[in-house]
Structure formats: structure tokens, C-alpha cells
Structure 1
Amino acid sequence: MSAKEIVKKFYKSDALIDSEVMKDYLHPDVLVEWNSSTGFVEHNYNSLLDLSNDLSKAYVRSKVRISHIISENDMVSVRYDHFVKTIENPREEMLLAHFFIIWQIKDSKLFRGYQISQLY
């Protein structure tokens, strides 16, 4: 499977709200450098699983809409919008944030991520 296919499959899955699915995609030495509207944070394997668990407590559904995806060798750049449905209102889909990330794939897993986001 190509690096681009791995990333597409990741974002089509429930990994963002299901840590068991997330485990299938993460390299054990994964590191994500994330610049968000609220500041900078680094995530490793365990903190990404914790983030997925936290999201699953607030949202019953998570959907990513990719607008751009470009790959070269083991690097994949993705621009996407993240939509969710809350536990309180599962019928209404809301935009959570806009994202851009560059993923490096190693051993067919997400290895390095460089992400920026802006809340809606």
C-alpha cells in the first residue's frame, strides 16, 4: 500500500475517536508536532491514544473531509476539515476545525506528523 493510501485509509477510519483503531496506524515511535489556535503541543504514541479516547467521550461520530492530498515518496500532505457529532446532539454535524498536516510514513505506519489547525 502506498503512503498516500495509508493516510487516506487512516482518515476514513474511526481512528480519531477509537484508540483501538488508532493503534493500527501509529508507528511505536510516532511524534506529532502540532501548532494549533491555542498553542504548540507534541504528541507521542500514548498521548495520541489518550487524545483519541478523550474525543470518543465527547463525540459519537467523526468525519474527515479531505480537500487536498499530495504525496511524494514517504511524505503525504493533507488539508482537511474535521466534522463531529456530539453525544448531546447526535443528529447535527458540526465543523470542529480546519487542519493541514504533513505525514511521514515508516514501516507502513504514521511516523512523523507536522500539523497546524484552526478552530472553526
Structure 2
Amino acid sequence: MLEKPCIQSRGFKNVEREGEIVGFQVNIRSLYYRGLWLSQLRPATVTVNGETYLVEQITWTINGVTYTQSEMAELGDVHWGLLEPATLTVAKEGGLESGSHEIEVNYTYSCSYFPPVADTVLGGTHKRTLILV
């Protein structure tokens, strides 16, 4: 069951590969009532405790498949459903320390029935405090 806020409390964790912490993950949900095609999404940023992580550091996992943000721009046939969380994985050596973190996710998207200038207002910035255990 998804929570009402965009940023979900479930799934917030550090990512380990080959015994080393290489980043962290946070789950988000689409707030757009139709869901979104990946090509509609514009590059996202994730900010944790005031430190912003940019496009090159973030991948999205939707329906079990992981995409870079540049790959998503070309995928008009992959849909992110309203009831499906997306996992944003941020590359950060050592991950995050245990404890409370101020999380901010900023992404925008386009809609076929809005002019391109509206891209900057759809989606927006979402903030939430999460605890990493």
C-alpha cells in the first residue's frame, strides 16, 4: 500500500554492492492521476540535508527495471503507473548515516494536452523527513 505523500517512508535505505555501501534509495509515487510514460519525465534531483544530487548520480527503477535519466527520455513505451512506486537510487560513496534526514525530491513532467512551457510547474518539489535505520 502506498502512502499519500510523493516520498514514501518504505524503501529508504543504503545500497550495498560487493560488501561496500555505494549509495542510497528512496521510493516515490506518481501523483499524476494517469501515471506517466517515462519519456514525459524530466530529470529529477534529490536533496538530502541540503546536499543536492544531480542527474548523473540518480537512476530510476520502475517495474523492476533500472534506467538512467537520459535513457528514460527515449522510452515512450514504458509506463510508471499511479499505484507503482519508483525507486530512486543515488550514487553516494558510503551512503547516508543512520538517523533522521530531510529528503527533497524535485521532478517535473510534460502532458500532451499542455504546452511545453508548463513542464516547469507540473510535478514540483516534494519534501519529507525520513529515518534511516
TM-score (norm 1): 0.34
Higher gyration radius (CA): 2
TM-score (norm 2): 0.32
Higher share of residues assigned helix: 1
Higher share of residues assigned strand: 1
